[in-house]
Amino acid sequence: AAAARRPRVLKMLTPAFFRDREAYLVGTLRAAGHELPVVFALLHTERGITIDAVLAGREDMRNVLFVSTRSTFSVAVEQYRELLRIVDSLAPDRGHPAMCAVIGFTHPARVALNHRLRDHLRETGERFESTPGRAGTAMIVFAPPSFPYVFKVVRDYSTKVGWKGRGRIMENYRWVHQMNRGRLMLDAWLYRNLPFPRECFDEEILSELLEGAPNSVRLDGGSVVLGHVYAQRRVRPLNTFFEEERDHALRERAIDAMGMFVKDLAGLGFFVGDHYGLPSNTGLTHGLNVALFDFDDLAPLLRFRFRETPPPPPGYDEDSWNAERDGSWFHVDEDDVLVDEWERFIGIPLDLRAFFLARHGDLFTLAYWNEVRRRAARGKLHFVLPYPPERRLGVPYP
């Protein structure tokens, strides 16, 4: 009874946090000696402004609100350092650089991460080395092994089919940084002319950088200068997850998240051209959502033509047909997607195939993609809810 009579104090920050169609009031609830982060998600309806959802606790702050896979907030504040001190305390696991970026202060975020990186190199004795996983065909990716961010340099040349050049890759990264990422794409911060002592680099990765990206990396005396490099939060690539994870329930959650990622991305009007390499270009976030971290094949959905494999010509015999001698019976352009063939190449583990087909088998039908294209052509784009449906208070979302 005494505990029930203890005062509860709700403190709210004065500025609202705006992002896309969203607005939030952020604060803390103090009761019984404990402080709980609390956020009210606001919605503008015909009845006026209402509270659509309530987020509470550090997990919601870290995995739902202050995430690097959505657009940055717009916050009207004069003393941003004081604001940062408060929001840092709401989601301390996110890290100060990430929180700077999430609330729109990208330059302070880059400065903070640069300091953190140099402190990490000095304190741990680690060096930059290649990151685990499949080597990128468009980017060279490297980092100190235990650092929570990776660093990416665009290759000058690539043997990748459809390679559009270094400038096109850089333009895509700039495009993604400025867009509504809808919880589906990691942000990347651009640095220019960052010098590091040569001894901070493993010789193998240094050789690869100098040979593969001479327009972005150079030697200057005893220093390695990264003339053009992106920093991006480290996530676990999906293909690595499926190779290492044995918990079947987690595997099902991850493959379901991959299917939802494809659908949500299409709903926003985008598609990944290198769909065969999807598990290598996407990763799992802390909240077990799937996010894209390679943007070189990201393009507007309406650029692609979704087709089914046409039937073979009369007299076709699979055993005797020689493609070099007889040619192909149909032509596939660079932007053609054969939806009935996609299932074989998208990277679904065999033990999860039936589960994926039950949940997302419509992805391999022409009818699904024709409808998505029709909606995109009419401007009917899907808005991905930033918070789980169970956090909502029953107000219909438009």
- Catalytic, out of 52, 60, 187, 256: 187
- Contact between 284 and 256 under an 8 Å Cβ cutoff? The reply is no
State the DSSP H helix or E strand holding residue 255, giving kind and residue range, or none if neither.
helix 248-267
Give the span between the Cα atoms of 57 and 105, in whole angstroms. Answer: 24
SS3 of 76-90: CCCCHHHHHHHHHHH
Which tokens in the block code for residue 218? 């150079």
State the DSSP H helix or E strand holding residue 92, giving kind and residue range, or none if neither.
none
Among 15, 17, 25, residue whose Cα is nearest residue 52: 25
Give the span between the Cα atoms of 119 and 131, in whole angstroms. Answer: 20
Active site residue 187: yes
Burial of 20 (0-12, 13-18, 19+ CB in 10 A): middle
Q: How far is CA 74 from the centre of its chain?
A: 20
Q: Where are the beta strands (DSSP E) in the chain?
A: 9-12, 17-19, 22-31, 34-45, 48-56, 129-130, 139-143, 149-154, 189-191, 194-197, 217-220, 223-226, 229-233, 236-237, 270-272, 282-284, 290-292, 298-300, 305-307, 336-338
Among 95, 226, 200, residue whose Cα is nearest residue 148: 95
First to last CA, the chain: 43
Give the span between the Cα atoms of 218 and 195, in whole angstroms. Answer: 10
**Would you please indicate which residues are annotated as catalytic (active-site) residues?**
187
